[in-house]
Amino acid sequence: MKQIILAVALSLAAVLPGVSPAEDANETAIQGVISSQFSAFLEKDVDAAWSYASPLIQNMFRTPENFGRMVENGYPMVYAPSETRFLELRDVDGALWQKVRVRDMSGQYHLLDYKMVETDGGWLIDAVQFIKSVGLGV
């Protein structure tokens, strides 16, 4: 009986998708970068938050101050979150996107997607987009 269970388990392991150590390391690193940027914004350290933005984003906004104003006005839930929760990390056409549920200071939930780019210095945030607002029950 134990041999049958072991054989079934090994068969399933061969056909079910798993998470490789590299994928797990990427997910940990990506979540660390996003968490660090949230922390920097909460500490009002726009220079540190800026350091987690990709060269594309930095070129677009030119200065940490411009970037900070954009986030504060356009993404207030990122600038001052009361709660964050990482959801799935997905590969979309070769780019890694990390879905994050963010609760703002008024208690409303927002679903955001972070496009990540790997550089020589590690992972950086290359874009953030709203997916949709979600209710309190989520």
Ordered by start, the domain boundaries in the chain are 21-134
Over pLDDT 90: what percentage of the chain? Answer: 77
Residues 102-130 have pLDDT tens digits of: 999 999 999 999 999 999 999 999 999 99
User: How high does pLDDT run on average in the chain?
Assistant: 86
pLDDT of residue 135: 57
pLDDT of residue 25: 84
The predicted model gives 19-45 an average pLDDT of 89
What is the second-level CATH architecture of the domain 21-134?
Answer: Roll (3.10)
Q: What Rg do the C-alpha atoms of the chain give, in angstroms?
A: 18
Torsion angle (degrees, nearest 10) of CA 30, 78, 81, 38: 40
Output 87 or 11, whichever has higher pLDDT: 87
Q: What is the pTM of this model?
A: 0.79
Give the long-range contacts of residues 84-90, CB within 8 A, separation 24 or more. 84/35, 84/38, 86/31, 86/34, 87/111, 89/23, 89/26, 89/27, 89/30, 89/31
Residues 74-83 have pLDDT tens digits of: 999 999 999 9
pLDDT of residue 133: 57
